[in-house]
Amino acid sequence: MADVRPSPDADGVLHTLFRTEQGGHEQVVLCQDRESGLRAVIALHSTALGPALGGTRFHAYASDEEAVLDALNLSRGMSYKNALAGLDHGGGKAVIIGDPDQIKTEQLLLAYGRFVASLGGRYVTACDVGTYVEDMDVVARVNRWTTGRSPEQGGAGDSSVLTAFGVFQGMRAAAQTQWGSPTLRGRRVGVAGVGKVGRHLVDHLVEDGAEVVITDVRAEAVERIIARHPKVTSVVDAEVLVRSPLDVYAPCALGGALDDATVAALTARIVCGAANNQLAHPGVEKDLADRGILYAPDYVVNAGGVIQVADELHGFDFDRAKAKAAKIFDTTLAIFDRAKADGIPPAVAADRLAEQRMAEARQRTTGGVGR
Ligand SMILES: NC(=O)c1ccc[n+]([C@@H]2O[C@H](COP(=O)([O-])OP(=O)(O)OC[C@H]3O[C@@H](n4cnc5c(N)ncnc54)[C@H](O)[C@@H]3O)[C@@H](O)[C@H]2O)c1
């Protein structure tokens, strides 16, 4: 048999996996099913608070190493999100490697579902980029730990409803902190990206009495909002939006919305939106704070969707999930209070609170023994 040595790339991944400042993951499972062509990575960052919960991303990665690193980063992010959402879930994430349009088949999804089953409940999956409710219905046929299913299959359906509700709660908390009252009435709010989450957010804002201005790269998305809310106005792109007079800026499109140029140009006093990974690089959170702009950490305010799917495990109840998502208001306030008390940006305060909740849970399960 030929001598197979790990490539330098594999060393790189293993180094990241075991380096604690990168997360110190509990378990990473590499999955392969030759018949269906499935190749997947399931990363469990932490189960301190309970079974790891996080979606399945289906993507054509440039390399296998990139796929593993994505699973490591995304699962770590889910630990923090779930901890601050008040869920009894740790953080996990799966990635399926390949172009979903080319390789996604029922056979492949069932093979993936069997790997989820093999973890015996340590990992609970859901939708993410490249996977949809109908895919989760297939995955759920071979395990009990799949959420994000269709309402016909006992699932919660579209998670953007409670995601938008949660973002609105976070924005109210930011208004309370910045202006002393938990309302957006009379405030000018710019929403960049009016897709599934953004359009529900506009509904909440209009109902609350805010003046709303929107932008989207898709003209039909803008037209749809204005047909529904004729007083809403639009601008040509996000760059124009951030420079126009705003009280609140809500990034609801893609990640990396808050780069150096955007932060320097912002007129808004609050940033609070649904998009994941809004801070383009470390240090942006401090630049925002230095400019007196209150930033509501993205993973805190956009947790309504994960709160919604987590509820499926108990037999989905929309009102119960909504009541839990409403607590995003208190959590966001607590983060702003901690940031003020410790003299740190809210993004750092959020990380510390999440780490505290995970450490407390770990201490409970080890009876105070160990780390
Ligand atoms: N759907 C959820 O439950 C959920 C949960 C948590 C986080 N998020 C995050 O919220 C964001 C929005 O999610 P979504 O489900 O509404 O997605 P979506 O694809 O339905 O909507 C995104 C919208 O942004 C627009 N857009 C893209 N690039 C843009 C740009 N440069 N400028 C202006 N508009 C642009 C798109 O045309 C689209 O209408 C994403 O970052 C997503 O990861 C969503």
Q: What SS3 class is residue 313? A: helix
- Could you read off the pLDDT of 222-245 as tens digits, one per residue? 999 999 999 999 999 999 999 999
Q: CA-CA distance, 120 to 111, in Å (whole number)?
A: 15
Q: CA-CA distance, 322 to 83, in Å (whole number)?
A: 17
Cβ neighbour number for residue 370 with a 10 Å cutoff: 8
User: Contact, 140 vs 149, CB < 8 A?
Assistant: yes
Identity (one letter) of the amino acid at 150? S
Ligand 1 atom nearest residue 160's Cα = 3
**Phi-psi bin for 121: left (phi > 0), alpha (psi -120 to 50), beta?**
left
Backbone phi and psi for residue 83, each to the nearest 5 degrees, phi listed first? -60, -45
Tokens of 216: 């989207």
Kindly tell me the sign of the dihedral angle through the C-alpha atoms of 112, 155, 122, 327.
positive
- Could you read off the pLDDT of 91-132 as tens digits, one per residue? 999 999 999 999 999 999 999 999 999 999 999 999 998 999
In the chain the domains, ranked by start, together with CATH numbers, are 29-78+91-153 (3.40.50.10860), 160-310+321-356 (3.40.50.720)
Nearest CA to ligand 1 atom 38: 195
Nearest CA to ligand 1 atom 31: 217
Nearest CA to ligand 1 atom 33: 216
CA of 50 to the centre of ligand 1 (A): 29
Q: What pLDDT, on a 0 to 100 scale, did the predictor assign at position 11?
A: 57
CA of 174 to the centre of ligand 1 (A): 21
- Could you read off the pLDDT of 133-164 as tens digits, one per residue? 999 999 999 999 999 999 999 999 889 999 99
Q: Are strands 38-46 and 27-33 parallel, antiparallel or unpaired?
A: antiparallel
Catalytic-labelled residue, pool 93, 196, 324, 340: 93
4 falls in which pLDDT band (50, 70, 90)?
Answer: very low
Cβ neighbour number for residue 315 with a 10 Å cutoff: 8
Q: CA-CA distance, 221 to 168, in Å (whole number)?
A: 20
Helices assigned H by DSSP within 155-212 = 160-179, 196-208
User: Contact, 146 vs 140, CB < 8 A?
Assistant: yes
Among 252, 278, 298, name the best residue to mutate to test ligand 1's pocket (greatest count of ligand atoms within 8 A of Cβ). Answer: 252
Distance of CA 126 to the CA centre of its chain: 12
- Tell me what the mean pLDDT of segment 276-289 comes to: 95
Place of tokens 């296998």: 64
Give the helix/strand (H/E) hosting 310.
helix 304-311
Of 50, 40, 117, which is closest to residue 79 (Cα–Cα)? Answer: 50
Of 208, 311, 295, 306, which is closest to residue 248 (Cα–Cα)? Answer: 295
- Tell me what the mean pLDDT of segment 175-181 comes to: 98
- Estimate the share of the chain in helix, then strand, then coil, as percent rounded to the nearest 5: 50, 15, 35
The 8-class DSSP code of residue 123 comes to: E
Q: CA-CA distance, 32 to 286, in Å (whole number)?
A: 43
Ligand 1 atom nearest residue 162's Cα = 3
Q: CA-CA distance, 348 to 283, in Å (whole number)?
A: 10
CA of 88 to the centre of ligand 1 (A): 27
Tokens of 183: 């309302």
CA of 359 to the centre of ligand 1 (A): 33
User: Contact, 93 vs 114, CB < 8 A?
Assistant: no
81 is catalytic: no
Give the helix/strand (H/E) hosting 250.
strand 248-251
To the nearest whole number, what is the mean pLDDT of the chain?
Answer: 93
Q: What pLDDT, on a 0 to 100 scale, did the predictor assign at position 3?
A: 47
Q: What pLDDT, on a 0 to 100 scale, did the predictor assign at position 322?
A: 97
Nearest CA to ligand 1 atom 39: 195
The 8-class DSSP code of residue 49 comes to: S
User: Contact, 199 vs 214, CB < 8 A?
Assistant: no
CA angle 316, 328, 232 (to 5 degrees): 95
Among 84, 194, 224, 254, name the best residue to mutate to test ligand 1's pocket (greatest count of ligand atoms within 8 A of Cβ). Answer: 254
- Could you read off the pLDDT of 198-215 as tens digits, one per residue? 999 999 999 999 999 999
Nearest CA to ligand 1 atom 11: 275
pTM reported for the whole predicted model: 0.91
Q: What pLDDT, on a 0 to 100 scale, did the predictor assign at position 187?
A: 98
Place of tokens 């119960």: 320
- Could you read off the pLDDT of 304-341 as tens digits, one per residue? 999 999 999 999 999 999 999 999 999 999 999 999 99
Q: What pLDDT, on a 0 to 100 scale, did the predictor assign at position 100?
A: 97
What is the distance in angstroms between the CA of the first residue and the CA of the last residue of the chain? Answer: 43
User: Contact, 116 vs 51, CB < 8 A?
Assistant: no
CA of 277 to the centre of ligand 1 (A): 12
Ligand 1 pocket, CB under 6 A = 159-160, 163, 192-198, 215-218, 221, 238, 252-255, 274-276, 302, 305
CA of 93 to the centre of ligand 1 (A): 20
- Could you read off the pLDDT of 37-79 as tens digits, one per residue? 999 999 999 999 999 999 999 999 999 999 999 999 899 999 9
Among 131, 194, 217, name the best residue to mutate to test ligand 1's pocket (greatest count of ligand atoms within 8 A of Cβ). Answer: 217
Nearest CA to ligand 1 atom 3: 160
CA of 79 to the centre of ligand 1 (A): 22
Ligand 1 atom nearest residue 308's Cα = 3
